[in-house]
Amino acid sequence: MILDKVNNPKDLNKLNIGELETLAQEMRELIINKVNTIGGHCGPNLGIVEATIAMHYVFNSPVDKIVFDVSHQCYPHKIITGRKEGFLNPDMYLKYTGYTAPEESEHDMFKVGHTSTSVSLALGLAKARDLKHENYNVIALIGDGSLSGGEAFEGLDNAAALDGNFIIVVNDNDMSIAENHGGIYSNLKKLRETNGKYECNYFKTFGFDYYYLEEGNNIEKLINAFEKVRDSKKPVVLHIHTIKGCGLDVAEQNKEAFHWIVPGTLDKKEENQQNPINEENYTSITVDYILNKTKTDNSVIAIAAGTPGVFGFNSEFRNILGKQYTDVGIAEEHAVAYSSGLAKAGAKPILSLMSSFVQRTYDQLSQDLCLNNSPVTMLIYWGGISDADATHLCVFDIPLMSNIPNLVYLAPTTKEEYISMLDWSVEQTQYPVAIRVPSCELVSSGIKDMTDYSVLNKYKVEEHGETVAIIGLGSFFNLACQVKDELKKQSGINATVINPKFITGVDKELLNNLKQNHEIVITLEDGVLDGGFGEKISRFYGDSKMKVLNYGAKKEFTDRANLEELYTRYRLRKELIVQDILKNVKIYT
């Protein structure tokens, strides 16, 4: 194997073009095997193998600094920069993250997992270099998909004003996660079609020098192109046309499906890939709900921001919805403001966002949406404590969203509640509403939920008891029930169990009534405690004798943590919680 000779980027310079091409094939095989075994980003990494080799061949990392946008296309970079064992040895597959990580290697500048950040981060490096009178290349590698995010535009706009070396490599594979949308992609297309000659050029409007390379998977040509921009004394854009999924037929043909694949994808028969298991879950019932709703009401519109797959919005769904669907691209700020506009003019927007990405649009939630009280329905997915990469945590949405005035943020605990909340939210015209789609398995009571959600902040006592009250929010309602049972078993105490449903308000009447025959209130939330739901209950009882224990995540960035260990560390276990309760209940203390 050629790869045997490559332990760091400098080793590339000992190889000839033929050997580099062989190396690319070896690396491609490793990536395919790894993502097919443990899952991971497939298409983006296969497309960038040659460019990564050429980049490291030409530039002198880590003296020269390469910043990867989103960084889910950094697998080839990791292989070259001393981490090939994480791809060669299946036992080591999990050793390295799927994103750049400075703690792993001096060749990784930043921990990155959200899009559109590379130009800004790299520009900071370049400016610091100039202030300190140092001398090296700074390269931002940005994919076409990332260009739709406003942060990338802001970075480009400011970068053009730099008076020094700065190299932006645009990795254009004509595809973000799903197909690309929006005006700038028509420009990239024209640039590809004219071999970069089209005069009305997005990058040139900023004032950048501009180079185009059509054969973005040809190592020799890539090396020439990188050599042309190396040591540039001013900001320059190198636009390369690569093939997403390059070298794996099925990935080249199904670019969206092979953006990120689950383990065993390549081993399955083709029909299985197209037909996921037909089991009802919160995603599937949402898809069905939207399909039904849009069919009967042409003012209903579904909106996504570049990750339709997460919500089950496959191409069939998108085709059926037609004009009643907008994928704005990776542009969450616009998605929220656009939804607000839709609602103001009488449409009924349903905007789906992942918890981790709702972070990208705080001001729009506050100003464009909530200050204007626009009746938008937002569905927040994946909220909760998880074993995710540090860049994709979903524990911050409650503090982020629920402290904004006017927003009604709901946490259903069953399918029936969820549907009922959706029905209310889509048709009402008074509030911006968000629903935290449960991240747990689907629970169905079988009984239609008749709650009138226009009566805000009414918690529901699911089981009446005494001494101890347990408030289980959303996907942690089940844990509340478990705690109740365990407490009964251990102490005979018959606890009250409460399903609050509303994240954004306190049910003062109910909480006051609890004072009559309860000593302690427990809150359970599937998110970070700081700024979250439970603290508001603690504040409420501040002037009373009621004790309050808040359970949830600690304020920290976890990184691919073991979920069971996390639950134990956060004491989110029925036994541990009962232990805490019994320490605080009078009869036992």
Nearest to 256 by CA among 181, 192, 359: 181
Q: What does the alpha-carbon distance between residue 348 and residue 376 come to, in Å, rounded to a whole number?
A: 7
Q: What is the C-alpha separation between 377 and 346, in angstroms, rounded? A: 13
Query: How far is the C-alpha of 336 from the C-alpha of 172, rounded, in Å?
Result: 27
Name the residue among 169, 75, 52, 85 with its Cα closest to residue 119.
169
Shortest distance, position 520 Cβ to a second copy, whole Å: 8
Q: Does 14 bind a second copy (CB under 8 A)?
A: no
d(CA 313, CA 352): 10
Measured distance CA(458)–CA(435) in Å, rounded: 16
183 binds a second copy (CB under 8 A): yes
256-315 binders of a second copy (CB under 8 A): 298-299, 301
Mask of contacts with a second copy, 109-128, x by CB under 8 A? Answer: xxxxxx--x--xxxxxxxxx
Q: Does 145 bind a second copy (CB under 8 A)?
A: no
Question: What binding mask, one character per residue, do residues 526-565 give for a second copy by CB under 8 A, x or -?
Answer: --xxxxx-xxx-xx-xxxxx-xxxx----xxx--------
The interface with a second copy within residues 378-397 (CB under 8 A) comprises 390-391, 396
214 touches a second copy by CB under 8 A: no
Contacts of 186 (CB under 8 A, 6+ apart): none
CB of 197 to a second copy, least distance (A): 12
The single-letter DSSP state of residue 202 is H
Closest approach of a second copy to the CB of residue 89, in Å: 28
Compare residues 344 and 489 and give the one whose CB is closer to a second copy. 344
Number of residues lying near a second copy (CB under 8 A): 123
The whole-angstrom separation of Cα 554 and Cα 187 is: 45
Under the criterion CB under 8 A, does residue 232 sit at the interface with a second copy?
A: no
Question: Between residues 100 and 283, which has the closer beta carbon with respect to a second copy?
Answer: 100
Contact pick of 15, 38, 250, 371 for a second copy (by CB under 8 A):
371
Which residues between 404 and 463 bind a second copy (CB under 8 A)?
Answer: 404-406
Residue type, 186: S
Q: Tell which positions 44-103 bind a second copy, by CB under 8 A.
A: 65, 67, 102
CB 364 within 8 A of CB 341: no
Contact positions with a second copy (CB under 8 A) in 146-175: 148-161
Closest distance to a second copy from the beta carbon of 90 (Å):
29
Binding mask 312-341 for a second copy (x = CB under 8 A): -----------xx-x-xx-x-xx--xxxxx
Nearer to a second copy, 220 or 556 (CB): 556
DSSP of 569-589: HTT-SHHHHHHHHHHHSGGG-
Instruction: Provide the minimum distance between the beta carbon of 251 and a second copy in the complex, in angstroms, as a whole number.
Output: 27
Separation of alpha carbons 123 and 119, rounded Å: 6
**Which listed residue (78, 129, 255, 259) binds a second copy by CB under 8 A?**
129
**Minimum CB separation from a second copy for residue 131, in Å?**
5
- Select the span of 43-51, 216-224, 363-371, 430-438 touching a second copy (CB under 8 A): 363-371
Say which residues have a Cβ less than 8 Å from residue 332's Cβ, sequence separation at least 6. 305, 353, 357, 358, 360, 361, 364
- Candidates 246-254, 433-441, 562-570, 576-584 — which segment interacts with a second copy by CB under 8 A? 576-584
Nearer to a second copy, 107 or 415 (CB): 107
Which distant-in-sequence residues (6+ apart) come within 8 Å of 124 by Cβ?
A: none
Candidate residues 59, 75, 93, 208; the one interacting with a second copy per rule CB under 8 A = 208
Tell me how far CA of residue 466 lies from CA of 426, 482, 516, in angstroms: 37, 16, 9
Stretch that binds a second copy, among 26-34, 176-184, 226-234, 240-248 (CB under 8 A): 176-184
What separation in angstroms does the CA of 398 have from each of 402, 505, 547? 5, 12, 23
**Cβ-Cβ contacts under 8 Å for 542 (sequence gap 6 or more):** none
